[in-house]
């Protein structure tokens, strides 16, 4: 698989997705259609039967009894059919929603991380809850739409059958009704916008204050801040009242028309009654049919609902269009030690080349630092090495097997990752560290100890049983938990992508020592910014603009001034750094261990003048 | 939304409990708006009149007009009905105007409550505030208040329409022929009773449905947030199973809702259609009682054109909007549960002595600025303490730095000293006075704490800077801006009176504004809790020097002034008079030189700081 292809999948489009949902519940959807059609037929039959019955009863005709029974049958049938439509419709929509959600989650989980990351979590949640629910009503809406058209059309026909004049009267009044309804939306949108602006204003102020909660708590200004947040409330109320006024005027207009139309039909019917062309029953039936015929509104509502479903489905379908990761069926040779090989690996992101033809072989069991300026492609290299990203060209092999040919479980068992900002999943920290696979508790704790996480986890109210969301974690603590998770499942290759950046120097050292000592031995690929990390690795890969600038042991690369410049300290550097890094005094590196054997600094060496620091830093 | 706001009160039965919890406040709300209700009823009565005339005029038009051969009379009666329909516009507008007087105050109250709760919650426990709590608060503030507003309006409109239509129709039936009521009322009452019986179970079904839906949203959001990590751990199947269970629950709850909707439809049939059938069955008897043809036609019109649609709207609104309203309003209630009061520290001999000193007394002129006595604090009852029997005395005018690895309890210490966190044991004295047991305002006069997360709000620069001391003079403002080096920033923002948008500021700029604000406060003691971490080192040094000088002025020293800096960078420690090193075992306190000999961690930190690169020196 190369660049993600445009999905040919039908579920990737709104129509395809809705069709899929309808197919999934084809039987039920058909049943909903049949029931609602039958209900419409019953509602059409009722006025006629009712009118006829009434006429017979008024005439005190003995034939009235069977008609009364028919009336009862039609009414009961209509009520039961409506109930059935409600039941079937509800369950069908529930089924469709579940189907859409399951598909969506499945597609999301199968997707490449880089592609899935385009959708923020809140957005995904909306797509698979509100949007999926709205989309899921489409099959039922479509099924009932057909039936709902039956009633008004049938009612007009019935009016014609009873008396053409009543039908003509009704049809003549209809355009006026539509015109009034059209005027509805006008004028309201402006006040809605102002209303929403005021609401957003309050929300923004609240979020600002929540972010500053500690300041407010300390300053005791809660009441004052509350008043400030609520300052736009009167504006909200003003706009809200305006919305109701506009709405009320629209309802008043449209509310007049329907009864007027029915009254007009009654008047015409009355004249026809007086002339003997209609019966009282006919007249009642005619007024009822006029009401039914005006029920086109229901159809309009259903069409609106279908349109909303379609746009909701479009949003859900964007998730379905995510290309899926593929896996192979091969396993790794048992004797392999984790040799990682990149052959001509290139990665492009939106016209930009992130990695350009990287060739690299990392012998099994070595630790490799990946260094380079930000944007050099370090994280992409790390992602490619663990198959979290598919290269656009080239191959990545682990112990001679292309990563894409490996079985998923083998790949994920043998290749572990730790990230700069790990996300923990699972009900407890213990589960989160096990990373979703069953694992003995002791192994989890050992990994946590190695990552210097055990101590602070035990300080938490419920220790390892604390839910990750309930634990107040600093960036450094989170990183240590991410490291612990990767240590617990360390296989042939461990990829640490900037995974110690938030640790203080002391902790970082402890973790590095434990990684060398207590974690299953294998190949390590370490994206690092700190010089000390690079120095302690067996090999350094120096990336520059997506290419390998150089590889070699740290001490060899250190001869290059440009390489040394990569490690310019991020904060006011101590005097020793520029001195050591200056070109005039070539650094002689013996062994990484030597760094730790440095005698403690003398007192005068520990007192750099801050002003001098800044000055020297500015020079560089 | 946060889990706390979602879960129902323990032991509460969702349906009935929610009703019991919400009825009294609902009654109070309506009782306070009797005038509005009266006016609403007044306008609605005109609607009753229209309903009444609809059936009555038809009956008269038939009996006296069309059936009597008097077409003109018949048309005249219908014209009366038409006139009453045309006259219905103004009453409808009146109804909506009054409706707004119910919905808007309700929405205002809920918005106020949402803001108050969110703020209270955040201020009570700032450490627990996270993005999810924010999302929950914003959802309650916007989305959920709108649900309440719309549902409540729908409910008021439909229930009112049904009641007044029913009144008009029943009076009409009574006027046409009292016997008609005998036939119509029983099935109507039966159907409405049946419907009302479904309401409470339907509310709990609705609640279960909304909860399940939120659980899906949370689960799916978690999958999305942790996607890369899930893939890296190969845990997709596990995640799919977990969300699958949530999706199944959601489906089950919406099936239950569908069953209740079906039952509601049957209730509607009983209340709306059964009277029609009964009317037909009893027609021979009614005719024998002298009921006219017109009266029968009028009765059928009442049933089919007025009652049935009004019933239908009301039942739909009550069944869907009503139960939703109950559920959402109940959530607002849940979240009003009084916040847990901060735990009182155990009585401690020192504490007893301090408590005996009279309240409101001027702080002693000789007591140290801060005195921490035997403070012990743990995050939970079973967890080991982060601060263990800590003693510390900060002299007046002194500048202290606190260093140590992340998560070791530095911020907790800042919280304890500033009185935001009540320690499990021990006492903290500011200028000789215990920090506990005083009001937030009193505390704010004695110390100012600036956390790492700077608080800047939409408003003028001046309002932001004078937030802690609104009566500060312009001169003081200018001085604070100058001494902290914030002029370029304030100028860029357009001067003190320009309105700033926090989203347009970098973290460093926010911190600089927060520092200016703290500088302007009247509190002598200043605690900077990594409050300068986003500033560049030179600006940080400048800020710390300014605050150190501020604490050292005679006025501030007399009032117990001091500066405590929780250090982000080690350079902060070098600027301090004395340094507290927290390393999880024995805290060390002393000057830089003393600590280099007494604290292994400190030595280590400074050693590494000096030699971040491994060179063995030249």
Indicate the residue of B92, B283, B615 with minimum beta-carbon distance to A587: B615
* 3-state SS, one letter per residue, for A129-153: HHHHHHHHCHHHHHHHHHHHHHHHH
**Can you give the residue ranges of every domain in chain B?**
3-335, 358-610
* 3-state SS, one letter per residue, for A312-330: HHHHHHHHHCCCECCCCCE
Q: Which of A98-107, A604-613, B29-38, B584-593 has the lowest mean pLDDT?
A: A604-613
d(CA B468, CA B483): 18
Let me know: does A9 contact A321? Beta carbons within 8 Å: yes
Q: What is the pLDDT of residues B125-143, one digit of tens each?
A: 766 545 556 666 777 787 7
Substitution target in A214, A436, A465, A477 with the highest count of B β-carbons within 10 Å is A214
d(CA B538, CA B549): 17
Q: Is A574 on the interface with B (CB under 8 A)?
A: yes
Helices (H) and strands (E) in chain A, counts: 27, 10
Helices (H), A440-587: 441-450, 454-459, 475-488, 505-518, 531-536, 554-557, 561-565, 576-581
Whole-number CA gyration radius for chain A: 37
- Within 8 A by CB and 6+ apart from A542, the residues are A371, A372, A548, A549, A550, A551, A557, A563, A566
Fold of B3-335: ABC transporter transmembrane region fold (1.20.1560)
Contact list, B153 vs chain A (CB under 8 Å)? 244
Number of C-beta neighbours around residue B372 at 10 A: 22
Indicate the residue of A54, A531, A580 with minimum beta-carbon distance to B280: A54
Q: What is the pLDDT of residues B51-78, one digit of tens each?
A: 999 999 999 999 999 998 889 999 999 9
Place of tokens 């099959």: A139
**Count of CB pairs separated by less than 8 Å, A with B:** 544
pLDDT band for position B585 (cuts 50, 70, 90): low
ipTM for the predicted complex comes to 0.80
Let me know: does B140 contact B331? Beta carbons within 8 Å: yes
- What chain A holds in terms of domains, given with CATH numbers, is 1-151+296-326 (1.20.1560.10), 340-567 (3.40.50.300), 568-620 (no CATH)
| ∠ Cα B119 B124 B127 (to 5°) | 100
Q: Which residues 303-322 of B are in CB contact (within 8 Å) with A?
A: 304-305
Q: Which of A314-328, B227-241, B406-420, B503-517 has the lowest mean pLDDT?
A: B406-420
Q: Tell me if B92 and A252 make a contact (CB, 8 A cut-off).
A: yes
Edge to edge, the sheet with strand B387-394 lists B387-394, B370-377, B425-430, B433-434
Q: What is the pLDDT of residues A126-169, one digit of tens each?
A: 888 888 888 999 999 999 988 888 888 999 999 999 999 999 99
Per-residue confidence (pLDDT) for residue B578, from 0 to 100: 94
Query: A441-450 and A505-518 helices cross at what angle (nearest 10)?
Result: 130
Let me know: does A406 contact A327? Beta carbons within 8 Å: yes
Q: Which residues, in sequence order, are bridge partners of residue B373?
A: B427
Nearest-by-CA chain A residue for B419: A218
Let me know: does A518 contact A443? Beta carbons within 8 Å: no
Residue B195 CA: distances (Å) to CA of A443, B30, B102, B125, B170: 59, 24, 26, 45, 20
Q: How far is CA A376 from the centre of its chain?
A: 29
Q: What are the backbone dihedrals phi and psi of residue A45, each rounded to the nearest 5 degrees, phi first? A: -70, -30
Q: Which residues 125-184 of A are in CB contact (within 8 Å) with B?
A: 125-126, 128-129, 133
Q: What are the backbone dihedrals phi and psi of residue B586, each rounded to the nearest 5 degrees, phi first? A: -100, 120
- What CATH number matches the domain at B358-610, 2.40.10.10, 3.40.50.300, 3.40.47.10, 3.10.150.10? 3.40.50.300
Q: Is B72 on the interface with A (CB under 8 A)?
A: no
Q: What is the pLDDT of residues A24-66, one digit of tens each?
A: 999 999 999 999 999 999 999 999 999 999 999 998 888 889 9
Q: Is A119 on the interface with B (CB under 8 A)?
A: yes
d(CA B306, CA B295): 15
Let me know: does B155 contact B318? Beta carbons within 8 Å: yes
Q: Tell me if A221 and B468 make a contact (CB, 8 A cut-off).
A: yes
Q: What is the pLDDT of residues A267-299, one digit of tens each?
A: 999 999 998 889 999 999 999 999 888 777 677
B277 vs A580 pLDDT, higher one:
B277
B563 vs A592 pLDDT, higher one:
B563
Q: What is the pLDDT of residues B280-301, one digit of tens each?
A: 999 999 999 999 999 999 999 9
Provide the Cα torsion A446, A447, A450, A451; round to 10°: -140
Per-residue confidence (pLDDT) for residue B406, from 0 to 100: 63
Q: Tell me if B89 and A253 make a contact (CB, 8 A cut-off).
A: yes
8-state DSSP, B385: P
d(CA B331, CA A379): 44
Q: Is the pLDDT of residue A447 over 60?
A: yes
Concatenated DSSP letters of A348-406: EETTEEEEEEEEEEE-TT-EEEEE-STTSSHHHHHHHHTTSS--SEEEEEETTEEGGGB
Per-residue confidence (pLDDT) for residue A310, from 0 to 100: 87
d(CA B303, CA B314): 15
d(CA B569, CA B575): 11
Q: Which of A310-319, A519-528, B220-229, B603-612 has the lowest mean pLDDT?
A: B603-612
Q: Which residues 25-64 of B are in CB contact (within 8 Å) with A?
A: 54, 58, 61-62
Through-space distance between the first and last CA atoms of chain A, rounded to whole angstroms: 46
Let me know: does B552 contact B561? Beta carbons within 8 Å: yes
Residue B424 CA: distances (Å) to CA of A357, B378, B381: 60, 7, 10
Mean pLDDT, residues A172-188: 64
Residue B240 CA: distances (Å) to CA of A111, B354, B384: 13, 59, 37
Please tell me chain A's helix, strand, coil percentages from 3-state DSSP, rounded to the nearest 5.
Answer: 65, 10, 25
Pair of tokens at residue B144: 């959920």
Let me know: does B225 contact B41? Beta carbons within 8 Å: no
Closest CA to A554 of A591, A525, A521: A591
Closest CA to A98 of A141, A139, A143, A136: A136
d(CA B122, CA B129): 6
Let me know: does B337 contact B9? Beta carbons within 8 Å: yes
8-state DSSP, A111: B
């Amino acid at each position: 698989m190369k660049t993600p292809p445009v999905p040919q999948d039908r579920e990737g489009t709104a129509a395809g997705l809705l069709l899929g949902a309808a197919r999934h519940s084809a039987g039920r959807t058909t049943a909903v259609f049949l029931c609602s059609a039958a209900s419409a037929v019953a509602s059409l039959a009722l006025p006629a039967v009712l009118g006829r019955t009434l006429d017979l009863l008024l005439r005190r005709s003995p034939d009235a009894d069977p008609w009364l029974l028919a009336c009862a049958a039609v009414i009961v049938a209509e009520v039961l059919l409506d109930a059935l439509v409600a039941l079937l419709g509800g369950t069908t929509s529930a089924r469709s929603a579940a189907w859409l959600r399951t598909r969506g989650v499945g597609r999301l989980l199968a997707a490449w991380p880089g592609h899935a990351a385009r959708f923020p979590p809140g957005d995904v949640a909306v797509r698979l809850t509100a949007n999926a629910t709205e989309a899921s009503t489409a099959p039922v809406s479509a099924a009932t739409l057909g039936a709902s058209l039956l009633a008004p059309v049938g009612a007009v026909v019935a009016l014609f059958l009873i008396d053409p004049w009543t039908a003509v009267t009704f049809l003549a009044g209809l355009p006026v009704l539509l015109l009034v309804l059209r005027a509805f939306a006008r004028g309201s949108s402006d006040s809605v916008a102002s209303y929403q602006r005021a609401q957003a204003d309050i929300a923004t102020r609240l979020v600002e204050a929540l972010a500053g909660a500690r300041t407010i708590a300390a300053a005791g200004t809660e009441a004052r801040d509350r008043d400030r947040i609520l300052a736009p409330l009167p504006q909200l109320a003003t706009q809200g009242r305006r919305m109701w006024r506009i709405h009320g005027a629209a309802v008043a207009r449209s509310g007049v028309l329907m009864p007027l139309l029915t009254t007009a039909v009654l008047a015409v019917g009355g004249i026809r009654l007086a002339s003997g062309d209609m019966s009282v029953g006919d007249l009642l039936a005619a007024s009822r049919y006029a009401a039914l015929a005006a029920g086109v509104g229901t159809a309009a509502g259903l069409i609106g609902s279908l349109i909303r479903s379609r746009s909701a489905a479009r949003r859900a379908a964007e998730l379905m269009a995510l290309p899926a990761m593929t896996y192979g069926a091969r396993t790794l040779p048992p004797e392999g030690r984790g040799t990682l090989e990149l052959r001509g690996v290139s990665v492009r992101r939106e016209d930009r080349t992130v990695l350009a033809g990287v060739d690299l072989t990392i012998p099994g069991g070595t630790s490799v630092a990946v260094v380079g300026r930000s944007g050099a492609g370090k994280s992409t290299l790390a992602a490619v090495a663990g198959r979290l990203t598919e290269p656009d060209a080239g191959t990545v092999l682990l112990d001679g097997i292309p990563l894409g040919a490996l079985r998923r479980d083998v790949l994920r068992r043998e290749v572990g990752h730790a990230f700069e900002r790990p996300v923990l999943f699972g009900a407890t920290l213990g589960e989160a560290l096990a990373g979703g696979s069953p694992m003995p508790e002791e192994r989890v704790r050992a990994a946590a100890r190695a990552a210097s996480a055990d101590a602070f986890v035990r300080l938490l109210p419920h220790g390892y049983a604390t839910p990750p969301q309930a634990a107040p974690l600093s960036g450094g603590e989170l990183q240590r938990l991410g490291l612990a998770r990767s240590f617990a499942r360390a296989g042939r290759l461990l990829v640490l992508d900037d995974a110690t950046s938030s640790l203080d120097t002391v902790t970082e050292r402890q973790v590095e020592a434990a990684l060398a000592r207590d974690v299953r031995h294998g190949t390590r690929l370490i994206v690092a910014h700190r010089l000390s990390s690079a120095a302690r690795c067996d090999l350094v890969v120096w990336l520059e603009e997506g290419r390998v600038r150089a590889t070699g042991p740290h001490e060899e690369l250190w001869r290059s001034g440009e390489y040394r410049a990569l490690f310019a300290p991020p904060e006011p550097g101590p005097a020793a750094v520029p001195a050591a890094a200056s070109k005039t005094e070539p650094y002689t590196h013996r062994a990484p261990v030597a760094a730790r054997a440095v005698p403690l600094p003398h007192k005068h060496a520990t007192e750099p003048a801050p002003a001098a620091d800044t000055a020297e830093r500015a020079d560089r | 939304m946060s889990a706390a706001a979602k879960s129902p009160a323990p032991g509460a039965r969702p349906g009935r409990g929610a009703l019991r919890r919400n009825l009294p406040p609902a009654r109070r709300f309506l009782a306070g708006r009797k005038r509005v209700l009266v006016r609403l009823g007044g306008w609605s009565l005109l609607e009753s009149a229209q309903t009444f005339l609809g059936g009555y005029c038809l009956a008269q038009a038939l009996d006296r007009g069309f059936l009597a051969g008097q077409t003109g009379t018949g048309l005249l009666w219908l014209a009366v009905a038409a006139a009453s329909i045309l006259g219905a516009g103004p009453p409808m507008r009146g109804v909506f105007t009054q409706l707004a007087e119910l919905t808007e105050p309700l929405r205002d109250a809920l918005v106020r409550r949402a803001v108050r709760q969110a703020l209270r919650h955040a201020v009570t426990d700032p450490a627990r505030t996270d993005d999810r709590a924010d999302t929950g608060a914003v959802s309650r503030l916007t989305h959920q208040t709108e649900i309440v507003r719309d549902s409540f309006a729908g409910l008021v409109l439909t229930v009112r329409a049904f009641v007044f239509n029913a009144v008009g129709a029943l009076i009409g039936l009574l006027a046409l022929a009292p016997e008609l009521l005998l036939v119509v009322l029983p099935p109507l009452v039966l159907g409405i009773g049946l419907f009302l019986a479904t309401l409470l179970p339907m509310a709990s079904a609705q609640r279960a449905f909304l909860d399940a839906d939120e659980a899906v949203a949370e689960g799916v959001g978690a999958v999305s947030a942790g996607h890369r990590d899930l893939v890296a751990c190969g845990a997709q199947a596990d995640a799919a199973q977990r969300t699958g269970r949530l999706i199944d629950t959601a489906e089950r709850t919406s099936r239950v809702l569908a069953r209740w909707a079906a039952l509601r439809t049957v209730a509607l049939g009983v209340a709306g259609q059964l009277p029609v059938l009964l009317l037909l069955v009893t027609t021979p008897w009614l005719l024998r009682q002298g009921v006219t043809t017109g009266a029968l036609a009028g009765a059928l019109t009442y049933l089919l054109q007025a009652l049935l649609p009004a019933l239908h709207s009301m039942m739909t609104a009550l069944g869907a909007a009503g139960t939703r309203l109950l559920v959402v309003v109940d959530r607002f209630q849940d979240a009003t549960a009084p916040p847990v009061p901060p735990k009182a520290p155990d009585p401690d001999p020192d504490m007893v002595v301090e408590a005996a000193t009279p309240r409101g007394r001027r702080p002693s002129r000789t007591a140290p600025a801060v005195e921490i006595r035997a403070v012990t604090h743990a995050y939970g009852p079973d967890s080991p303490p982060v601060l263990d029997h800590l003693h510390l005395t900060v002299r007046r005018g002194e500048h202290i730095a606190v260093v140590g690895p992340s998560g070791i309890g530095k911020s907790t210490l800042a919280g304890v000293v500033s009185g935001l966190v009540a320690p499990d044991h021990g006492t903290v004295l500011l200028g000789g006075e215990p920090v506990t047991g005083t009001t937030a305002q009193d505390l704010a006069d004695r110390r100012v704490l600036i956390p790492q997360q700077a608080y800047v709000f939409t408003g003028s620069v001046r309002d932001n800077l004078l937030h802690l001391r609104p009566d500060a003079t312009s001169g003081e403002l200018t001085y604070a801006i100058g001494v902290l080096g914030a002029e370029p920033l304030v100028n860029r923002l357009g001067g003190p009176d320009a309105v700033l948008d926090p989203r347009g500021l970098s973290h460093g700029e926010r911190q600089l504004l927060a520092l200016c604000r703290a500088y302007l406060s009247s509190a002598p003691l200043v605690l900077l809790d990594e409050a300068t971490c986003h500033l560049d080192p030179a600006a940080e040094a400048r800020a710390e020097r300014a605050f150190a000088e501020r604490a050292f002025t005679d006025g501030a020293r007399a009032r117990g002034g001091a500066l405590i800096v929780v250090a982000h960078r080690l350079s902060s420690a070098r600027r301090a008079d004395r340094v507290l090193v927290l390393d999880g075992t024995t805290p060390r306190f002393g000057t830089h030189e003393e600590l280099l000999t007494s604290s292994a961690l400190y030595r280590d930190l400074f050693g590494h700081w000096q030699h971040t690169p491994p060179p063995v020196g030249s």
